[in-house]
Amino acid sequence: VIPAEIIKKKRNRFELSSEELAFMVNGYTSGQLPDYQMSALLMATFFSGMSEVETSALTQIMLDSGQRVQFEDSGKVVDKHSTGGVGDKTSLILAPLLAACGLKVPMMSGRGLGHTGGTVDKLESIPGFRTDLSLADFKKQVDEIGCAMVSQTGEICPADKKIYGLRDVTATVESLPLICASIMSKKIAEGIGGLVLDVKYGSGAFMKTEDNAKSLAAGLTRVGEDHGLKVKFLITNMDQPLGAFVGNLVEVAECLAIMTGDDCLGAEEQSFNDCKELTIELATQMIQVSDLAMEETEARKKVIAALDSGQAFETFAKMCHLQGGNLGAIQLPTAFSTVVAESSGYIESYNTEQIGIAAIELGAGRKTLNDKINPLTGLRVHKKVGDLVEAGEPLFTLFAGKEVPEATQAKALINQSVAYSEAPIATTPLVLFRE
Amino acid sequence: VIPAEIIKKKRNRFELSSEELAFMVNGYTSGQLPDYQMSALLMATFFSGMSEVETSALTQIMLDSGQRVQFEDSGKVVDKHSTGGVGDKTSLILAPLLAACGLKVPMMSGRGLGHTGGTVDKLESIPGFRTDLSLADFKKQVDEIGCAMVSQTGEICPADKKIYGLRDVTATVESLPLICASIMSKKIAEGIGGLVLDVKYGSGAFMKTEDNAKSLAAGLTRVGEDHGLKVKFLITNMDQPLGAFVGNLVEVAECLAIMTGDDCLGAEEQSFNDCKELTIELATQMIQVSDLAMEETEARKKVIAALDSGQAFETFAKMCHLQGGNLGAIQLPTAFSTVVAESSGYIESYNTEQIGIAAIELGAGRKTLNDKINPLTGLRVHKKVGDLVEAGEPLFTLFAGKEVPEATQAKALINQSVAYSEAPIATTPLVLFRE
């Protein structure tokens, strides 16, 4: 087998066989295939695409490169995957919530990527919280309390890990089949029977249009179904931050508030409504992809009960305790600055990606791979698109620990991200489409 | 500057600045840019292409990566470049022929590539002939006798050399702008003022169609003109081997025969007519791109005179002598097998690439980079497309040294390469287009 011939075949838009894909991927993972040939294949794939059969084969090869968790009752084991957004914190509630509903959620998550936050970074803002459980401890905890939330271990899909690193530095991240295989191999490796996808579109998402989001959702669904998963997806709007807070500890605080019914850093319950509603919607679908035979209305009731009764919070607290986290040691950050409305009028739109970048400027995310994040920094978003504001009214509050960071650049970005309208604005529904 | 951003820009079909191209190419040449990023850029270029401005900038960067020969009278310094074919041996005659016409030809050539032969391999089949002159000796010889024929030295376009090696193993050879920059940087580095391109199309060429050949010719011409060269091109037919012989020493012998008017290995002068005619045509154009102010008819007369008077041969003999070659020591190979016509009829077509591959099977070329060629093997093509043949009549004679190689595979390939027609065949002109 000549690697250049396989690259050429893909370059010329032919379908690669499972054997050819395995030759390249396994060769690269083991170090036998040089990285320059893998990067050429990745770029050829970016342009030529992959068929459904190829994408599923690639997923399988990545899956087979590492270990796979196995649950006896996989019909009760579910997860959710979000394509990432700003203020997107539903995972933190969903895992304990579904556990409280009698399902198992073995959730492996990532760190912040680009302008979006990452579940692992958020969890690690809780003093002591460990996300680096071994695969055995991970499974044990899921069997015990119904959920665990960890970062991806080296035992899971090492091929994907190595290839993803290469994609990142060769401008080959944005390829639908590569994205699908990367996401799905890791999810399938969790040992789940059902998966709900939260595919986001809009100014704060990676997919800027609804059509792109739908293509991604369809691709991910096909791969999941090819591997025997029950899959449902929501197409949801990310034209503004989800909920009231963007950051790490401030997002944890918002989740705790949603699970307990309390206020959070001066924000009242209703400011989290969108986040709570989306969480309930996703949880309802997660029950639908499990083998709990339950009508949607019934499932939704069960979810709301588990959330409002405090059971979800209880499970979250248990999980924190088992993973070394100390909720009592949380010291909430303090407000150190505000960005006020420059004009009176209706909020017409946010450049949500720019708000995410502003949060990174504040230290809530990484500019380069080795940056340390500051778990205490973040911001509150006071207004939703369509809200009426008066010039001078606070739009954003900036939070940090005792040492207040320089925030000139972040404030400028935030200021520029807002557009005002004199006339009322027709708002977009949060959940655009479900299947 | 972030390399991945430059790759992404090209991937997204934007034009790269000269600075961005230089950052990538020079970084790669010096070893600072990893090869996996260069290969991703090359594949992105394969798909996104390059503008004329980018292609010229890339050529300049490659040119600047090494040394450049300089002649005081560059208006008299010309060269020819052929895109490669089977039996394409005109270079061996052209260099001494144009020198005999008062011009200078500093010709740097390559070895066999794919199914096509290489000028350097052919020259090296002459006992003692050295193609590895230093740049200083190369220039000195051109100044002295009007021509020198060498292989590319490491001093010329090292960036191209390194990138070409990477293209070869990453399926990124077949990119028009990359081909143009690679060819033209090396030609411009020779210090020439004029260049004639012999762009071949057909079953034995890299470009299978006339349209592709014209695109390549136009691309090469633009880059040459951007760098101040006078450029003319011919689009020539490569649907059958050029001349009567394919190999190395047998092709040298054919050239000697053309320059002396003798027969060659049993083949009479008329069997080289197409090769001789193309050589005269190319030589005429080479005079046109020099600053010898001469009408085409006059130039053609001068060329024919230099060829038929033996002056071209005399210069060839001088060049051989200066480069260590001993024409007197040539021992011509002997015929060891023939392939006869399987049917009676007109030769309808040859799969000329397959004939080239058969010659490689015989040892006349390399299957892998480190193979040694056998200078003595080769074949004679008895019939041209359109010729009437009778079943059993010899179509090809196979030549070798004393040790006769196993030729079953080569003979099978040759046999399969011929198609017969009952009706007469309308033949294609050798020179299809000139500009």
Q: How confident is the model at residue B433, as a pLDDT?
A: 85
Look up residue B203 and give its amino acid.
Answer: S
Cα separation, A175 vs A48, whole angstroms? 10
- Give yes or no for residue B132 having a pLDDT over 90: yes
* Residues of A acting as catalytic residues: 81, 160, 167, 182, 186
Taking CB atoms and an 8 Å cutoff, what residues of chain B touch A43? Answer: 7, 11, 39-40, 43-44, 47
Residue B380 pLDDT > 80: yes
Q: Which two tokens stand for residue A174?
A: 């944005």
Confidence of residue A81 (pLDDT cuts 50, 70, 90): very high
Alpha-carbon distance of B144 to B106, in angstroms, equals 11
List the catalytic residues of B: 81, 160, 167, 182, 186
What pLDDT sits at residue A435?
Answer: 79
**How would residue B136 be classed by pLDDT, with cut points 50, 70 and 90?**
very high
- A362, A342, A346: which is closest to A408 by C-alpha? A362
Mean pLDDT of A33-40: 97
A44–B40 CB contact, under 8 Å: no
Put residue A59 in one of left, alpha, beta given phi > 0 → left and psi -120 to 50 → alpha.
alpha
Tell me, yes or no, if B46 comes closer than 8 A to chain A by beta carbon. Answer: yes
Q: What are the pLDDT digits (tens) for B80-110?
A: 999 999 999 999 999 999 999 999 999 999 8
pLDDT of residue A368: 78
Nearest CA in chain A to B7: A171
The answer to whether A289 and A196 have CB atoms below 8 angstroms apart is yes
At residue B379, does pLDDT exceed 80?
yes
* Region B119-140 average pLDDT: 97
* Residue B158: its H or E element: helix B158-169
The pLDDT of residue A46: 98
Q: Give the chain A residue nearest B48 (alpha carbons).
A: A47
DSSP-derived letter for residue B144 is H
Report pLDDT for B366: 87
What is the C-alpha separation between A291 and B185, in angstroms, rounded?
66
| Confidence band for A293, pLDDT divided at 50, 70 and 90 | confident
Residue A149 is predicted with a pLDDT of 98
Q: Place A28 in a pLDDT band, splitting at 50, 70 and 90.
A: very high
User: In the prediction, which pLDDT does B370 show?
Assistant: 80
Phi–psi pair at B139, nearest 5 degrees:
-65, -40
* Tens digits of residue pLDDT in B238-254: 999 999 999 999 999 99
pLDDT value of residue B293: 82
Q: Residue B326's pLDDT is what?
A: 97
pLDDT tens readout for residues B260-288 = 999 999 999 999 999 999 999 999 999 99
Contact B7/A at CB under 8 A? yes
For residue A406, pLDDT beyond 90 = no
Taking residues A119-140, what's their average pLDDT? 97
pLDDT in the model for residue A404: 78
> Residue A369 pLDDT more than 80?
no
Q: Out of A7, A11, A39, whose CB is closest to B36?
A: A39
The mean pLDDT value of chain B amounts to: 95
User: How confident is the model over B404-414, as pLDDT tens digits?
Assistant: 777 999 999 99
Contact at CB, B4 and A47, closer than 8 angstroms: no
- The answer to whether the beta carbons of residues B226 and B214 sit under 8 Å apart is no
A149 DSSP assignment: E
Instruction: State the average pLDDT over residues A336-357.
Output: 96
Residues of B in contact with A44 (CB under 8 A): 43, 46-47, 171
Contacts of A31 in chain B (CB under 8 A): none
Shortest alpha-carbon distance between residue B368 and chain A (Å): 12
pLDDT band at B371 (very low <50, low <70, confident <90, very high): confident
- Quickly count helices (H) and strands (E) in chain B: 16, 13
Does A67 reach chain B within 8 Å, measured CB to CB? no
Q: Do B43 and A38 touch (CB under 8 A)?
A: no
Calpha distance A126→A122 (Å, rounded): 8
Mean local confidence (pLDDT), A258-275: 95
Please name the residue that has the structure tokens 């079943």: B391
Burial tier of A27 (Cβ tally within 10 Å: 0-12, 13-18, 19+): middle
B13 in contact with chain A, both atoms CB, cutoff 8 A:
no
pLDDT in the model for residue B385: 97
Q: How much is the mean pLDDT over chain A?
A: 95
Condensed to tens digits (0 to 9), the pLDDT of residues A215-245 reads: 999 999 999 999 999 999 999 999 999 999 9
B305-339 tens-digit pLDDT: 999 999 999 999 999 999 999 999 999 999 999 99
| pLDDT tier at A366, thresholds 50, 70, 90 | confident
When pLDDT is averaged across residues A147-152 and rounded to a whole number, the result is 96
Nearest-neighbour CA in chain B from A37: distance (Å):
6
pLDDT for the residue numbered B260: 96
Residue type, A130: R
Q: What is the pLDDT of residues B417-435, one digit of tens each?
A: 999 999 999 999 999 888 8
Closest residue on chain A to B2 (Cα): A169
Q: Given a cut of 80, is residue A107 above it in pLDDT?
A: yes
Q: Does B32 touch chain A (CB under 8 A)?
A: no
Burial of A331: CB neighbours in 10 Å, binned 0-12, 13-18, 19+: exposed
Q: Is the minimum CB–CB distance between B27 and chain A shorter than 8 Å?
A: no
| Residues A369-375, mean pLDDT to the nearest whole number | 86
Write down the pLDDT at residue B1.
Answer: 80
Mutate to test the interface with B, among A39, A45, A47, A164 (most CBs of B within 10 A): A39
Nearest to residue B8, comparing CAs of A95, A286, A171, A138? A171
B24 at interface of A, judged by CB pairs closer than 8 A: no
Q: Would the pLDDT of A354 be above 90?
A: yes
Chain A contact set for B172 (CB, 8 A) = 40
User: Quick one: angle between helices A311-322 and A296-308, nearest 10?
Assistant: 60
Residue B197 reports pLDDT greater than 90: yes
Three-class SS state of B296: helix
Mean pLDDT calculated for residue range A44-65: 98
Task: Mark which residues 162-221 of A lie under 8 Å from B by CB.
Answer: 166, 168-172
Which residue type does B105 have? V
Answer whether residue B369 shows pLDDT above 80. no
Least confident of A115-129, A282-296, A361-375, B187-201: A361-375
* Res B227 pLDDT > 90: yes
Q: Give percent of chain A above pLDDT 90.
A: 92
pLDDT, position B367 = 81
Residue A145: pLDDT band with limits 50, 70, 90: very high
Q: DSSP letter string over B38-104?
A: HHHHHHHHHHH---HHHHHHHHHHHHHTS-----TTGGGBEEEEE---SS--HHHHHHHHHHHTT-B
Rounded to a whole number of angstroms, the distance from the CA of B169 to the nearest CA of chain A is 5
Give the pLDDT band of residue B378 (cuts 50, 70, 90): very high
Closest Cα of chain B to A41: distance in Å? 8
Question: Which residues of chain B lie closer than 8 angstroms to A46, CB-CB?
Answer: 11, 44
CA–CA distance, A36 with A175 (Å, rounded to integer): 18
Residue A355: per-residue pLDDT: 97
pLDDT at B352: 97
A389-398, B242-251, B384-393, B394-403: least confidently modelled range: B394-403
